[in-house]
Every structure is written in structure tokens, then in C-alpha cells.
Chain A
Amino acid sequence: MKFLHLVFLNLRRKRTRTALTLGSFLVSLFLFGILMTIKTALGSGVDVAGADRLIVRNRVSLIQPLPFAYRERILQVPHVREATFASWFGGYYQDMKNFFPNFAIDVERYRLVYPEYKFSDEEWRAFVEDREGCVISPPLAKKFGWKIGDRIPLEATIWGGTWEFNVRAIYETDRKELTSPELWFHYDYLDERRAFFKGLVGWYIVKIDDPANAVEVAAAIDDRFENSPYESKTETEKAFAAGFANQIGNIRLLILSIGSVVFFTLLLVTGNTMASAVRERTGELAVLKTIGMNDTTVLFLVMAESIVVAAIGGGAGLALAKLFTLRGDPTGGMLPNFYLATRSLGLGFVLALAAGAAAGIIPAMGAMRLKIVDALRRV
């Protein structure tokens, strides 16, 4: 610690070089932060998926519907406790850029399958009793300044026309990943007014008695609808959410690839900087050894310089990424859970420090092995 000031003074010698190295860490960790945010946003459904819930959808694709009548047949499958359904609505408020997820739900049973969403009984009752009623999430209420009693017009991209809803409830949850901007309304309202797909639903959500029976139940449901006009594909909610996220591509591989390239580039840039710094200060390092500094301390002194750059640059990059994500979803609803998780921040900072340490280790070893006599001869 006594030599920490020397580390900072050394970094101030070549300010442009230090600024550029800091900048490379800043940009890299900012990019890392944004990528992790996107990954979190795309995978948020996976994180919140219940282990005891299955999703039943049309085998052809998610946009193909299933008959409303399937519910009763699903309930007959052993180990099934409850079944509810939902349908994608695809409406937007005033402008396409204001898009957010909205779908019609089975008002009677949706709450039974998703107990993690909390409502006051009064608000829920008001929603159930109003055919044009809707439930919104706190972020949506905040985004547009909506409150209970407001009437909201949505433009329907699939069904056409302007649909109006009354805000009757705002759910609460203590899980941040569940609070994306979204709106639910009555399936009956949708089915009554739409011109096609009547009597059909988007997908079923099935609650089972034990997650251990998931494979058995999924197979039983799909067997039941085999060779019908609406064959089904049943999978766990987690697998469904992951599959939904992967429609965009293999996000994990993408992030890993970009992260690896960034990490490798950082190693080269910082390693080169540190090697130059050590070369320039060969004589000074020799003097430090001459006055009694041992090889290990010299090693740590050089390593510390590299790690301090990584910590400052990387920390600033992550802080900027955090600030950027605080502004919310920049895509207008495509990435509702757009936030940089503390875990990702921690991971980014550890990676930055690791990059700093890895970049500094070779120059530091060189400094450690430096022979005083040889170094003094070069002065």
C-alpha cells in the first residue's frame, strides 16, 4: 500500500497512453455490460419460469393457435392440476415505437397458475367485472403515467382497429425480472370482437403436481392431440422461454464470441502498454531493487499498475452501461427487462481485473527477473 501512490504517479507519466488504455477498458466493459443486459432481457422469461409449469403450443409454430376446447382434455391428463391460456394481441399505444407486450388471458384461472403476481382483491374484482378492463405492470403505468380508471386506446396490428381498455388493476411483485411493461385483458373481449381465429387460443399454461412428472405429462398431452388438425408441442416453461429467446440466435454463443474477442484485444492492448512502460522504466526498477525492494514487490508493483488501469477503465465502462440501462428499454418494448443486473456488474468487474492481471503478468515477470547490473548498464 505504501507504494500505491507510485503506481498512480507512474500512470500519469504518459497521460495519452494511459487514457487510451483506460478507454479500451471503458469501451470493452461498456459493450460487455450492454451485451449482458440484452442477454438478461432475452432470457428473463427463462429466469422466472416456474419449474412446475408447462407450455402447450401449436406444433407448427407459436403463431399458430390451438382450440379453446383443448383445456378440458388437458385437465384430464394425470398429474395436471390446472390449465389456463393466453393469446398474443400485438397492440401498440399511439405509435409503433410505444410497443409493449400485451395479451388476452383466461381471467378465471390465470391468477391461479401465476401466483407470483400480486393484486389487491378490490382491483382484481374490478378487472374481472369489467369486460374491457385490463391489468398493467408498474413499469407500464410509470412509462405512460397511467393510473387506475384511465381508458387506453391500443392499435391492433393483427386484429385491426383501435381497441380501448380500462385500467382496473396494477399488479405488484417483489421480483424485478417480472416487472416488464405489459398489459393483460379479457380473452372473451378479444374472441368476441376479432374477425378470425374465433374459439382459438395462443397457448396453454399447465400447472402440474410435481416438476419430476414434467416429461411424462408433456408426452401425454402431445400424444392426446397427435394426428389432429392442431397437433401440440409441450415443453417446460423454462425450455419454452429459452426457445423464444433463441429465435433471435444463440445469444450465449454470440456474447461469448464477442466477449472473447474483446478480452483478447484488451490483453494485447494492455499487455503492450505495460511492456512499453516496463521497458521505459528499466533503470528505475533497477534502482528500486538496489535500495532493497525484493523481486516479488517489483512484480506486484507492475501488476498493480495494470490492475488499477483495468479497475478504473472497466469500472467506468460498467458504470456507463448501468447509466445507459437506467433509461430503460431503448427498443420500445422488444426488450422489456432491460436492466444490468448486479451479478453481471460483478462478473464484468472481475473479468476486467482478470484481463488487467493477465495483461500485466508477462511484463511484471520481466521486471521481476530483471538483473540489477544489466538494467543499470542500460541507463
Chain B
Amino acid sequence: MVRVDGKGSGALVEIRSLDKKYHRGGEEIDVLRGLNLDVDAGEFIAFMGPSGSGKTTLLNLIGGIDTPSSGMVRIAGDEISKLSGRKLAAWRARHIGFIFQMYNLIPVLTAFQNVQLPLLLTNLSKTERRKHVEAALDLVGLTDRMQHYPRQLSGGQEQRVAIARAIVADPSILLCDEPTGDLDRAAGDEILDIISRLSKEFKKTIFLVTHDPVAAKRAGTLLHLDKGTLLECTTDGEFACKPEDSGK
């Protein structure tokens, strides 16, 4: 279940009265204002909204790579806004997988080595790491490109490596920031197919930021973010957003 009215309880992701302000040139900009969100495990949510509406900021706050100005972000029982830097890093490694628009692979590492990176922070043996990496690359259909460097891969393949890197440590939540934004339609569809599969087959909780209505339709829930507030919308045809106090 997904709620934006702040009345849910016990959800995997609980966000309450979340504010995020930026200071730019002496001016204070309210990006998120009093935002509430409850998301149960296994949900696939798409965030849409105009540029600067706070979609990526919300994703960063859920992923613990940014800190709120006020409010609370609790994920799987951990109030991450109160964790220290070291604990937050360990928490991210355990719970979150990030997929970026620009892939952000390390160019000097092969596909295999890029995917292996998150596992180097664990206590897994070399053999175990290899198994996990091969499984992740198999899932995204790139077992034959393991030893290729990012420069030897197409954009779509690079993004598939990035997805493999995001899932290799088996996180419960995947945060996807416009993962198809830099790809053509065919490659983008392949990526969306993989993300949908991760949601349906592997029951990952997925947050997808996108400008693309076609991509948003893959999600079970579409949330529209505008002027720092969330509205739940239907994902078919024209947006029809429910009032803020409704639940699903």
C-alpha cells in the first residue's frame, strides 16, 4: 500500500513532515514541504513532476545520501536521518541500490569488477562474490560482456551493468533516477523490462523518477510531485490525481 496522507503505520518506508530547503545565493528555496509518504515492501512507485519539483531530492533522502532540513525518514525501522555518516554508509550498502541516469560506472573497471564493487564492502569470499556477480549479470543478460570495459558497451548495456551493480548485494529498495533518460526507446524499454521484473519476480521495492509517461506506466503507483508536495495519480491516460488525504 502507498499513502501520502501520513496516516499509515508499519510500512517499509515511512516519511513524515519532510522538509528540504536549499540555500542559493542568499535565497532559501523550499524543495519539499511537509511531505508524508508510506510505502509497503514490494511496491513499484513512479515519481513524476516538472523539473525542480524535488523528485531527485526525495529519492536522495530516501536513499540516505542527502539529509532533510526537518522531518523524519524511517526505512525498515531505521530512522536514517539520525544515523551517523559511517552507520548510514553501512545502512545504504545493506538496503539500497541506486541506478542513475548517466550509469556512473567506473571506467577502469570491467563490467564484472563494477558489479562486484558493493560486495567488496561485505565479508563474502572471492568465490561467493563471483557467484553473486555472475547471477546479477545473468539477470540483466550480460554474462557474455563480463570482461568488457564500459567504453566497450552500448548505453543500454552500461545501464544494465549499473542495474546489476545495484542489485548484486540484494538490497530491498531500488532507487532509479531517470534510468532511461539517456537511452533510445528500444534500449529504454529493455531497462524498464528488467526493472519491472525486479519488482514482480524479486519483490523489490522500487522508486522510479521519470519524465517519461511510458516509463511511469510500468509502476504500480504514480505519484506527482509539484511545489514540494505529493499527489497520487492514476497511471493510465491523462493524469488524474487523487486528493492528498486519500489512501490506496
Chain A residues with a Cβ under 8 A of chain B: 2-3, 6, 9-10, 12-13, 283-284, 286-296, 372-373, 376, 379
Contacts and interface: CB of A to CB of B under 8 A. Distances in A.
Given A9-B109, A373-B66, A294 B85 contact: yes
B120 A3 contact: yes
B135 interface: no
A80 to B, nearest CB: 71
B86 A291 contact: no
B160 interface: no
Contacts of B90: 292, 294
Contacts of A286: 104
B93 A291 contact: yes
Contacts of A373: 60, 65-66
B120 A2 contact: yes
B85 A290 contact: no
A178 to B, nearest CB: 53
Interface string B139-158: 00000000000000000000
A152 to B, nearest CB: 63
Contacts of B102: 379
23 contacts: A3-B120, A9-B108, A9-B109, A12-B108, A13-B108, A284-B106, A287-B100, A289-B89, A290-B98, A291-B92, A291-B98, A291-B117, A291-B121, A291-B165, A292-B93, A292-B169, A293-B89, A294-B86, A295-B85, A372-B60, A372-B65, A376-B65, A376-B100
Nearest to B102: A379
Contacts of B63: 290
Nearest to B117: A291
A299 to B, nearest CB: 12
A15 to B, nearest CB: 12
Per DSSP, chain A at the interface is: helix
Contact of A292 (B60, B92, B107): B92
Nearest to A376: B100
A58 B118 CA distance: 77
Interface in B64-123: 65-66, 85-86, 89-90, 92-94, 98, 100, 102, 104, 106-109, 117-118, 120-121
Contact of B118 (A3, A291, A296, A372): A291
A379 B101 CA distance: 10
Given A291-B93, A379-B104, A6 B109 contact: yes
A290 B66 contact: no
A284 to B, nearest CB: 5
B149 to A, nearest CB: 11
A358 to B, nearest CB: 25
Contacts of B60: 372-373
A293 B121 contact: yes
A284 B85 contact: no
B109 A288 contact: no
Interface of B: 60, 63, 65-66, 85-86, 89-90, 92-94, 98, 100, 102, 104, 106-109, 117-118, 120-121, 165, 169
A17 to B, nearest CB: 14
4 tightest Cβ-Cβ pairs between the two chains A and B: A292-B93, A294-B89, A9-B108, A372-B65
A284 B104 contact: yes
* Among A2, A283, A286, A379, residue most surrounded by chain B Cβ atoms (within 10 Å): A2
Nearest to B89: A294
A10 B104 CA distance: 16
B13 to A, nearest CB: 18
A138 B166 CA distance: 69
Nearest to A295: B85
B125 to A, nearest CB: 11
Contacts of A287: 100, 104, 106
A249 B189 CA distance: 78
A295 B104 CA distance: 19
Contacts of B100: 287, 376, 379
Contacts of B92: 290-292
Nearest to A377: B56
A124 to B, nearest CB: 66
Given A376-B100, A379-B104, A292 B118 contact: yes
Contact of B65 (A3, A283, A290, A293): A290
Nearest to A283: B104
Contacts of A284: 104, 106
A9 B109 CA distance: 8
* Among B60, B63, B90, B120, residue most surrounded by chain A Cβ atoms (within 10 Å): B120
* Among A3, A291, A372, A379, residue most surrounded by chain B Cβ atoms (within 10 Å): A291
Contacts of B89: 289, 292-295
Contacts of A283: 104
Contacts of B117: 288, 291
Contacts of A293: 89, 121
A137 B97 CA distance: 73
Contacts of A294: 85-86, 89-90
